[in-house]
Amino acid sequence: MARRPQLTGRAAVLAVVVCAIAMSLAYPIREYVAQRRQIAQLEQAQARELAAIKALDDRRRQLMDPGYIKKTARERLFYCDPGQKCYVVMGDDRAAERRKSAAGPKKAVKAPWYETLWQSVEAADTGRGRKAAGAGG
């Protein structure tokens, strides 16, 4: 009995055709996946922009409200209605503290280098300066 070859001509042609079909479909599928990813990113960007538009529209409506404008003018610019007596208390520490706490914590401001240099020169002149550690004398 003669053995049949495991790979016949028909099987080889079929394998080549299947590979050709797979190769021809690879690029369109890759493009499809890339386009779906881009569509998802654009939809997310559109949702962000719509939220920003809604926030700006709400702010526009708020600024069109005469009551809000009056309240803001009284609080920030110390405006008064005609015929009304208004007083502004100068040096009110509690109001300053409230404004500072509303603005949030501020970072400690570091003095410029030239002020630090001048202070060290003045301290050396008056003898109030301290010696640096490890300085030879």
At which residue do the structure tokens 């479909």 appear?
Answer: 25
Task: Give the pLDDT of residue 104.
Answer: 57
Asked if residue 126 is part of any domain, the answer here is: no
Q: Is residue 47 part of a domain?
A: yes
**Domain-located, residue 132:** no
% of the chain beyond a pLDDT of 70: 79
Q: Please check whether residue 137 lies inside any domain of the structure.
A: no
- State the pLDDT confidence band at 38, using cuts at 50, 70 and 90: very high
Which residue range(s) make up the domain with 56? 10-103
Assess whether pLDDT exceeds 70 at residue 96.
Answer: no
Tally of domains within the chain = 1
Q: CA-to-CA distance for 106 and 17, rounded, in angstroms?
A: 72
Give the model's confidence band at 115: pLDDT under 50 very low, under 70 low, under 90 confident, else very high.
Answer: confident
Domain assignment present for residue 134? The answer is no
Distance CA 33, CA 60 (A): 40
Residue 21 lies in a domain: yes
Instruction: Identify the pLDDT of residue 55.
Output: 97
- Residue 45 domain-assigned (yes or no): yes
19 part of a folded domain: yes
